[in-house]
Amino acid sequence: MIKPHGSDTLNPRYVRNDTERAALLKEAQGLPGLVICSAAAANAVMLGSGYFNPLTGYMNLADALGAAEKMTLPSGLFWPVPIMNVVRAEQVTDEIRQAKRIALRDPNVEGNPVLAVMDVEAIEEISDAQMTTFVEHTFRTHDKEHPGVAAFTSVGNVALSGPIQVLNFSYFAQDFPGTFRTAWQIRDEITEQGWEKVVAFQTRNPMHRAHEELCKMAKQAAGADGILIHMLLGKLKKGDIPADVRDAAIRKMVELYFPPHTVSVTGYGFDMLYAGPREAVLHAVFRQNCGCTHLIVGRDHAGVGKYYGPFDAQAVFDDIPDGALRIEIFRADHTAWSKKLDKIVMMRDHPDHKPEDYLFLSGTKVRDMLAAGEALPEEFARPEVAAILARHYQGE
C-alpha cells in the first residue's frame, strides 16, 4: 500500500487507548479551556484521524507562512495550506498565556465538550501583512465574498500553536456513523478488500451520471482495484446540499450502478475551504494518507464562483516539487452526455462535438426542476438519485 505523506507509518493524533484517553479527559477538566472556531475544530478532527499526517498539531506563524507562500515548511516538509488555531485576542486570557497545556473545546457540539488537549508552544499575533499573505496565497483573492476568505478572516488574529492529543471526533462520528472514517480505518478497509490501486473521488455534492462515469473512467485508466468516494461532512456555504442528503443519494447510486465490492463510500470531518488549487493539493495529501494511489482532479476542483480557472486545480500540480507526493493525479475534463454517441464522454476526447451535441443543465435549472417535482433527464441523473434530491428540495 502507498506510504503516508512524510513518514513511513501513519501517526494519528487521536488517543486510541481507552485508559489514556480517560486520564486525559480527566486532566482536561482542570486545564484552562478555550472554545475554538469551527475551522480549528475541523483541523483537530483531521489531525486526530491521521489525514494530516505527519503534522502533530497546529502550525506556528513561521510554518503557516511557509505553507502559504511556498507550500513548504521551514523543516522542508511539503504542505499546501496553513493548519492553524486562530482565535480572537480577547479569548487569550492571562490564564491561557501562562498555561503549558490547555483544553480545546468544541464549538459545534452542545455544551462545548473538550475536543483535544494542546501543549502551548507559542501564542503569536498575526499582523495585517501576514493575514494578507495567508489569504493571497491560499485563496488567490482578497474578496470577502469568497466563503473561504470570509471564514478565515473572521475568527481573529492570534495564533496558538503546538501539538495536540485528540479525544473525540466532534459530531462527525455520531451524526455519520456509517460514513465517517479515519485515515487508518480506510487503510484497514483497503487492506481487507485486497486492493492495491485505489482511485479517490472527492465530493461535497451529490453525484450525477457524469460523476459516476468519471469514477469508472478513472478506475479503468489507472488499472485500479477500487474507488474511494470520499465526501466532505463539515461546514459548507449556504445553498450546498446537506451531507445526510448527499450521503443517501451517493449510496443509492453505488448500490444500483456499480459492481459489488468495487466502491467504498466514506466521509471525512473537515470544513470546506473553497480554495481551489491549494485545496486540491491538500486533498491529494490526505488521500495519500488514507492509502489511495490516485486522486481524480476535475474541472474547477474545490472551486467556487469565478475565482479560479477551470483547470487551475490541475495546473498547480505542475508547480509542486518532484517527489513531494506519492499519489498520482488523474486529470479529468468536463464529462457530459453526448447526444451523438448516446453515452457520457469526456469532452476533450471528442473534438468533433459542438456544444449543442451535449446535454447541459445548470445547477439553478436542476434545483428548480427538483423543487417543482419535474423529473431530471435520465441522461443527466439516475432516477433513484434524483428522487432523493427531489424530496430534499421539496422540503419532505
What are the pLDDT digits (tens) for 132-148? 999 999 999 999 999 99
User: Smallest Cα–Cα separation from 297: which of 371, 369, 222, 388?
Assistant: 222
Q: Which helix (H) or strand (E) holds 104?
A: strand 101-105
C-alpha dihedral, 79 to 168 to 152 to 107, nearest 10°: -170
Angle between helix 243-257 and helix 383-393 axes, rounded to 10 deg: 170
Q: Which helix (H) or strand (E) holds 281?
A: helix 277-289
Q: Are residues 83 and 131 in the same domain?
A: yes
Distance (Å) of CA 294 to CA 79, 247, 390: 18, 22, 33
Q: Are residues 199 and 329 in the same domain?
A: yes
Q: Are residues 166 and 184 in the same domain?
A: no
- Please give the Cα distance from 202 to 229 (Å, whole number): 6
Q: What is the pLDDT of residue 285?
A: 98
Single out the catalytic residue among 187, 204, 246, 278.
204
Q: Are residues 360 and 229 in the same domain?
A: yes
Count the domains in the chain.
2
Question: Three-class SS of residue 4?
Answer: coil
Single out the catalytic residue among 101, 157, 205, 299.
205
- Please give the Cα distance from 165 to 181 (Å, whole number): 18
For residue 386, is pLDDT > 80? Answer: yes
Per-residue pLDDT tens over the stretch 334-349: 999 999 999 999 999 9
DSSP E strands in 121-180: the ranges are 122-125, 158-166
Catalytic residue status for 205: yes
Q: Are residues 148 and 248 in the same domain?
A: no
Per the omega criterion (within 30 degrees of 0), is the bond before 54 cis? yes
For residue 9, is pLDDT > 70? Answer: yes
Cβ neighbours for 206, distance < 8 A, ≥ 6 positions apart:
241, 245, 246, 249, 250, 385, 388, 389
| Backbone torsions φ then ψ of 180, nearest 5 degrees | -60, 130
Q: Are residues 191 and 150 in the same domain?
A: no
For residue 124, is pLDDT > 80? Answer: yes
pLDDT over 70 for what percent of the chain?
100
Q: What is the pLDDT of residue 385?
A: 95
pLDDT tier at 396, thresholds 50, 70, 90: low
Q: Are residues 75 and 140 in the same domain?
A: yes
CATH number for 220: 3.40.50.620
For residue 73, is pLDDT > 90? Answer: yes
User: What grid cell was written down for 164?
Assistant: 495536540
Range of the domain at 314: 177-393
Per-residue pLDDT tens over the stretch 229-282: 999 999 988 878 889 999 999 999 999 999 999 999 999 999 999 999 999 999
For residue 395, is pLDDT > 90? Answer: no
Q: Are residues 124 and 195 in the same domain?
A: no
User: What grid cell was written down for 56?
Assistant: 502533530
The number of angstroms, rounded, from the C-alpha of 181 to the middle of its chain's C-alpha atoms is: 13
In a domain, 215, yes or no: yes
- Please give the Cα distance from 13 to 3 (Å, whole number): 18
Catalytic residue status for 11: no
